[in-house]
Copies of this chain bind each other. A is one copy, B any other.
Amino acid sequence: MGNTFGHLFRITTWGESHGGGVGVVVDGCPPRLKLSEADIQPDLDRRRPGQSAIVTPRKESDTVQILSGTFEGKTLGTPISLWVKHTDARSEAYNEMATKFRPSHADYTYFAKYGIRAWPGGGRTSARETIGRVAAGAIAKKLLRERFGVEVLAYVTHVQSIVAQVDSARVKFSDIESNIVRCPDQVVAAKMIRLIEKMRRAGDSVGGVIEGVARGVPPGWGEPVFDRLEADLAKAMLSLPATKGFEIGSGFAGTLMTGRQHNDAFRMKAGKVHTLTNRSGGIQGGISNGEPILFRVAFKPVATVMHEQATVTEDLKNTTLKGRGRHDPCVLPRAVPMVEAMTALVLVDHAMRHQAQCG
């Protein structure tokens, strides 16, 4: 259980690295939205392995098919079923994984929980699981853009200790997509790419931070006390593989300020209430305040490395395991569309919840 996300715009994902593919069912999408595979495929391409020299080289076309929920190019209001068929059959090269738990992967915990695990490619713990989220997120982003005037962006700000300078209020999609690491600071991006390439050659991996921003969210979205907007964003982000942290607005650094320093003063601007600073990250008391929603997500370095590591076997003996073949030196470039997708899914769900009670 636990494979459904959202209350009103609700997605259910399925699929392992083996089997007939991966997919998602989107229930609750408003009717009469123009929708075809062409709206979804671009984000899958941004998530796809093999898209550049700095991500895992495995080749999957990840072609999406809409199986239900549309008619004559428009949504019906009924469940939208999206399917991505596997094309890269897993080989027996993975055999060692059948008996050994990969360190800092989920092999052991899945086995401990379910008493069974699909070792080829990691089963449900494979990053392929995120295809369904990204596909559903593409629909959510389209809805936000066309019906609510909301733009959702994400980009890499940190790769290990390399830090970019990004103006979250002005950054554009084309800035982000102009390089393969998806960092809009072009100078720093080049350094990041060099570090990741070095890691790849060293058979090692590196993590970092992705920042997400949602611009145009009106005041009023969010459902205190438990379904605060930032709480649902935090859950959404921590549900992504390899995430270790989330912060909104001033975040952990905000703990170093005093209240006087930290507070966002209100001022009228063009007839609207605004804050002079945005340490709140666009959310106050769990509800959007009209400022850009701004947050950061920490991604650990990818667990698969090409070096021998201590581990144990399924029958509980100490052993070692060394990654072989293809490895992903940095998940960040491919995680950018995942962060966007989860952000959009949270926002559109909250837009609908707000509309239901206060619309």
A75, chain B: closest CB distance, angstroms: 8
Find the residue from A28, A76, A207, A263 having the highest chain B CB count within 10 A: A263
| Residue of A69, A78, A241 contacting most chain B CB atoms (<10 Å) | A78
CA distance A266 to B285 in the complex (A): 42
Q: Mostly helix, strand, loop or mixed at chain A's interface? A: mixed
- Judge whether A103 and B266 touch: CB under 8 Å: yes
Given A8-B357, A14-B80, A74-B116, answer yes or no on A235-B224 (Cβ-Cβ < 8 Å): no
A263-B303, A357-B352 known; A238 vs B245 contact (CB < 8 Å): no
The answer on a CB contact under 8 Å between A199 and B258 is yes
Which listed residue, B109, B260, B309, touches A265 by the CB 8 Å rule?
B309
Q: Is A50 an interface residue (CB 8 A)?
A: no
With an 8 A cutoff between CB atoms, is A305 at the interface? yes
Please state the number of chain copies in the assembly: 4
CA distance A276 to B94 in the complex (A): 25
Chain B, Cβ-Cβ closest to A349 = B356
Whether B234 and A237, one on each chain, are in contact in the complex, defined by CB atoms closer than 8 angstroms, is: yes
Cβ-defined partner of A110 (8 Å) among B32, B262, B287: B287
Question: Which of chain B's residues has its CB closest to A161's CB?
Answer: B256
A158–B310 Cα distance when bound, in Å, is: 34
CB distance from A136 to the nearest CB of B (A): 12
- Flag A15-52 by CB within 8 Å of B: 1 or 0 each: 11011111101011111100000000000000000000
